[in-house]
Structures are given as structure tokens and as C-alpha cells.
Amino acid sequence: MKIGAIVQTRMGSTRLPGKVMLDLCGKPVIDHVIDRLKQSKLLNEIIIATTALEADRVIVDQAKKNKVKWFCGSEDDVLSRYYYAAKENNLDTVVRITSDCPLIDPVLLDKIVEFYISNNYTLVTNAGNNLTQRTFPRGLDVEVFSFRVLEDAFYNATKSHQREHVTPYMYESYGKDIYYYKNDMDYSNLRWTLDTNEDFELIAIVYDKLYDRYDGKFGFEEVLDLMKMNPELCRINANVEQKKLV
């Protein structure tokens, strides 16, 4: 079984343009996402899925620099971008990651992938599109599904939000066959994703505090401990609203 992480990314973010190239401890955000995925013990491939726009050539350059695969596809039909990237690289299992997650935890990712492999679910996620199912901070999101399911979505998803956000068709079609991987404690109120200046302010502080101390190998538990010791950090982006899928 060939397992690959496909990381969707582009320079044209609506709320924070160019966010994937913002500097964290001397490296751009996208490099940190790649570095963290390389720490996974189960991923056979890492693929950066961007667009064919000239502005996104810098992302391809970063993929080359980091010696990972890349794919350039549609800007708006991100589902097709995933499908063709997975098909071109002969993936059996797809791990969906977004580049606005520079705190993605490779240990947690491996646990979710391992659960998917060991059980008979169509999709396993610690995120999902139902807020009542989330227990991990936003920014640690992992979705795991087969190429067959991705292909089904590619050929049958007709609504614009299904094409743009990749997995809505799966949630709408396979509801009972989806497993929501949960944490023992609910930390869904925490926001560790990168979508605004406030988000970047928080993540930059986290990197300044933890990156050198752990040689880049810090995860969910270490960030959570930092937040507990410095509760004022949670307030930096507490008022940021998550964008709606539809």
C-alpha cells in the first residue's frame, strides 16, 4: 500500500496572501510543513499540490528544494488537483493536509493513518466538517481516505463547495462509514491554523519558544503545555472566525 500526503497550497490566500512563505525561525511556513511530514514513519510520499499560476512557481521551487514531489493543477477545482496528483503518483491511500498547518503533528498523523489501515472505514479524520466532532485544535487536521473514494468524489461531486474543499462530497455520501478520531480532552476551542495576522502572531511565538528547544520535533503535547503555562497566548487569535465551507 502506497500512502502519500498531498498538501494543498497556493500563494493567493484571501485573508493572508503569501502566508506559506512567511518566515518562522529562518524558514518559510511551507518548509516547516514539509519537515514535519518527513518525520512521519508511515508516509511513502509527500506531494505539494499547487496551481499552474505564475505566482505559485515559488511553491514549486520550495518543493524542489525540499526534495519532495509537486503537482500543478486547477486553482479552484482543488478536488481535481488532488485526484490527478494522487493518480500521477500511484497512491493507494491519500492523507489530506493543508499548508496552513505549520503545527501539524507527525505522531498524531501516524496514529490516525494507522487507525485507518487497521479498520474498515471510508474516511478517518480528527477534523471533519461537523464542529461537534472536533476535539483537537484547528490546525492539526488530518483526513485519510483511499484513492478509490477520491476517484468517486472526482467523478460525482457537482457542487462548487465539493470541488473547492475536496472532501465535502465524501462526508455527504459516506456519513456512517466515517470515523472521527477523538482526543480524550476537548481542545476544539484552540486555533493553531494560519489564516490571519493574529494566527501568525501566535504561531511565531510558539516557534520562537519551542523550535530550537526540540530541534523542530515538537508536537501537540508540547504546544499544549506551552499554552497551559502561558494562557494569554490563547487570546491572541481567540476572536478569529473560521471561514465557512459554503
What pLDDT digit, counting tens, does each position of 153-175 carry? 999 999 999 999 999 999 999 98
CA trace torsion 217, 223, 229, 233 (10° rounding): 130
What phi and psi, each to the nearest 5 degrees, are found at residue 130?
-120, 115
The model's pTM: 0.96
The pLDDT of 199-220, averaged and rounded, is: 98
Contacts for 205-210 with beta carbons within 8 Å, 24 or more apart?
Answer: 205/233, 205/236, 206/103, 206/233, 207/24, 207/25, 207/32, 207/102, 208/25
Spell out the CATH class of 3-194.
alpha beta
- Mean pLDDT score, 234-238: 96
Q: What is the pLDDT of residue 92?
A: 99
Question: Which is more confident, 86 or 243?
Answer: 86
Q: What percent of the chain has pLDDT over 70?
A: 96
Q: What is the mean pLDDT of the chain?
A: 96
- What 8-state DSSP symbol labels residue 12? -
Q: Is the pLDDT at 145 greater than 80, yes or no?
A: yes
d(CA 8, CA 10): 7
The β-bridge relationship of strands 3-8 and 45-51 is parallel
- Residue 68 contacts residue 59 (beta carbons within 8 Å): no
Q: Say if residue 87's pLDDT is above 90.
A: yes
Measured CA to CA in angstroms, residue 193 lies from 122, 190, 212 at distances of: 26, 9, 21
